[in-house]
Amino acid sequence: MKLMKLILFAVTFVTTLQLIFAQHKQSCHSPIYCQGDLLHVIQTAKIFNDSKTFVDMAMINPVNETLQKFQTMMAENDDNPSRAQIKQFVFENFKTIGELEEWYPRDYKAEPKIIKEIQDPVIRAFTQNIISIWPTLTRRVSYHVFDHPETHSLIPVEHPFIIPGGRFKEYYYWDSYWILKGLLLSDMMETSKGLVQNLLSMVERFGFIPNGGRIYYLNRSQPPLLSLMVADYVKFSKDFEFIRQNINTLDKELEFWLTKRVTKITKDGKVYELAHYDSESDTPRPESYLEDVETCIQLKTEEERYECYTDLKGGAESGWDFSSRWLFDKKGYPTGDLTMINTRRNIPADLNAFLYRAFKVLNKFNLILQNDEMAKFYQDCMERWKEAIEAILWNEEDGTWYDYDLKLQKQRRHYFASNLTPLWAGAFDESKRVEKGQRSVQYLKKYGIDQYRGGIPTSLFPTGQQWDFPNAWSPYQNLIIIGLEKSEDPEAQELAKHLAHVWVNSNIKAFHENKVMFEKYSAESSGHFGGGGEYHIQAGFGWSNGCVLELIHLYFRAKTRKYIGFH
């Protein structure tokens, strides 16, 4: 359906649609930012090129007054205002400034310890440039939001934080995991602690960590990495009391995943439990409202459309928004067609690897605190997940792990960078560590992954979605490289060193040519940024900075056996 026809349809039948939406699970309770006629009319009018722009704006007046002004505007125009009239209403009642303040971190150091350990002048200069980006990405919530939270979509948090960059002007869950690694390597302990405390406070308020720091994200989470963040912070800071102070909160977060995201799988007469991504809502994403309506309206039935909305939000929860991992036809073959999104029927290898690592961390923390009962609980979780990952996700013939299709009851035997995450997590029998490393090398070389000049591709399907070929994303470079390194297989470690070299080289080249770090890069050529997806390439970029610092720390310091220099 053409855009103008869609807008006319949407505005004409707004009341009917909103009555239907009222029967479904909304993104949040806000009548401005998550549901209602106002959101629907403004977003379907396409006032902005990016739907996120509107839901990130703050109200000038209180909620009730804003709604009253909207109702007046609609009544004066017979419930069919023009785009110009809607645009005028938006700019008279909303503003784009005042939520966040720039903040210069007090613990910022221009030359932290890592700089002194690097002899190669090119690597050292690049590392200094990356570290110098942290102050430009540091923000804190302004007093306006604390005083009038109902007029903002931003969720206020106490401590300063690092934003990813570009269109992402708030904090995000799994971005923060990689950002934290970079902050810790930059000796920024105060900022690191505050970042973790902000996320812990979200669990206390909501029972889980939302996708990001906006109320319209309160219907979904992101990969469960908080326990690992606490472990990383404690490892660097030696603040072991931090574990005691927050152990109950970490337990609370994992309870969310165990009660809300776990499903049962039967194989060979035995029942296993593994997790999948989902959402608490079946209406359009407020930050991608028009895009979701345009996608799901193509489906035949109302039920299919609401299933589509839920799977889109589940895909956003995965962090892979979007990819042929979630987009496939009835036979399970990957596609780039968003109407074929099937996130919830996919059991992801990486999500369950993340959970396994989280269980391991909580087991260790509880042993330290002598909480024997909870330590045993998480030990049992570890064993169950390890067994299930081996039985359901491991493919002995191919020598790797695959996502599992709940509907077709079989593995999705396609290359995705996420396949190797269980190697990083150590989610297998310890006696098979070297063997798993060897098999992983064979698998990667089978698909020529070691031959790409720009990094490890996320998939091999050129669908146009941003988590597909030819894009290469920072987190999965680190997950694969560190997984290979930890396997203790010599050939795997050599491949890890080679892949680290390729990625750091590509990041340096892109930075030299563009003077910025990018959200994603092209695997096909060194130094080129990626593309595709719902929005343009973003610069900043929090997790790219953190990931490359971790690889420099592991492979490019003079005082480590892993030093390989720069060529």
Q: Is the dihedral of CA 401, 476, 464, 348 positive or negative?
A: positive
CA distances from 448 to 105, 278, 412, 502 (A): 43, 33, 20, 14
Q: Which residues pair with 334 in a beta bridge?
A: 328
Whole-number Å distance between alpha carbons of 529 and 537 = 8
The string over 148-168, giving b where at least 16 C-beta atoms fall within 10 Å of a residue's C-beta and e elsewhere, is eeebbbbbbbebbbbbbbbeb
Number of other residues whose CB lies within 10 A of the CB of residue 294? 18
Q: Which tokens is 444 given? A: 């990667």
Please identify every residue annotated as catalytic. Answer: 321, 519
* H helices present in 94-212, as ranges: 113-116, 121-131, 134-137, 143-147, 173-185, 189-206
Q: Torsion angle of alpha carbons 27, 198, 96, 38, nearest 10°?
A: 20
Whether cis (ω within 30° of 0) applies to the bond prior to 334 is: no
Read off the DSSP letter of residue 323: -
Amino acid at the residue 124:
R
Q: CB neighbours of 333 closer than 8 A, spacing ≥ 6?
A: none
φ, ψ for residue 168, nearest 5 deg: -95, 95
User: E strand or H helix at 558, and its extent?
Assistant: none
